Amino acid sequence: MSSDEIAVSVEELSKRYGDVDALAPLDLEVPAGESVVLVGHNGSGKSTLLGMLAGVLEPTEGTAAIHGCTVDSIAARRHRSWLPDTPVLYDDLSVREHLEYVSRLHGDCDEAVNDDLVERLGLVDRYDDLPSQFSRGLRQKTAIAVAFCRPFSVLLVDEPFVGLDAAGRSAMLELLAESVDNGASVVVATHDPAVIERFERGVVLENGVLVHDGPAGSVHEYLTVDDRRSG
């Protein structure tokens, strides 16, 4: 597979905190247009891996690239959109201002795209309100809109369904599917077993070690009984 076809490339990537290996040396490639679900218990290394791919965590060793560009480069930032597990929003900007600001940073502000996102996520009545005053669920919906209002070819998402109601969950799944249909690579970490088979490929981490990499449906055997009930 040529370098142009590899969206995410990881070689011997690791993260250590003192004597604790948050992520053991890992090799991973994600082709362009593939959807990947990351599965593992709390502390398994999912968020650590995504944080390093997003350029917000410094690796201890190894390398990571987005379309051949190092993750901390401007070129990688152009390709990548990042939705962390906790919404990161400005206290003094409304929903509308968030979308206008982020979309202009990455090109022209397409008001039709922003309006569509707000409608699909059920934020129309809160468009000019400050997310700092929102509930956890509304803040999550705002963060989703911010992640999708800009162009990207790689989307990194950490636990997107936390705090979402049924309508928000449905909208998020639709947006993920549409992104893949449009050629983007999507890597999503989730504890939600009900959505696993929405993805093509499943990667399982345990205690910072990759223990399985295969079709998404095959990761169910790594879930505990409680995991399965939670879905």
pLDDT for 25 beyond 90: yes
Q: How far is CA 35 from CA 31, 94, 99, 177, 201, in A?
A: 9, 31, 25, 9, 6
pLDDT, average across residues 118-139: 96
| E strands, the chain, in order | 6-17, 20-31, 35-39, 61-66, 69-70, 80-83, 154-158, 185-189, 201-206, 209-215
- What's this model's pTM, rounded to 2 decimal places? 0.93
For 51-98, how does the pLDDT look when each residue is reduced to its tens digit (9 = 90+)? Answer: 999 999 999 999 999 999 999 999 999 999 999 999 999 999 999 999
Q: Computed from CA positions of residues 206, 210, 214, 215, in that sequence, does the dihedral angle turn out positive or negative?
A: positive
- The answer to whether 161 and 169 are in contact (CB under 8 A) is yes
Structural domains for the chain: 3-92+152-230 (3.40.50.300)
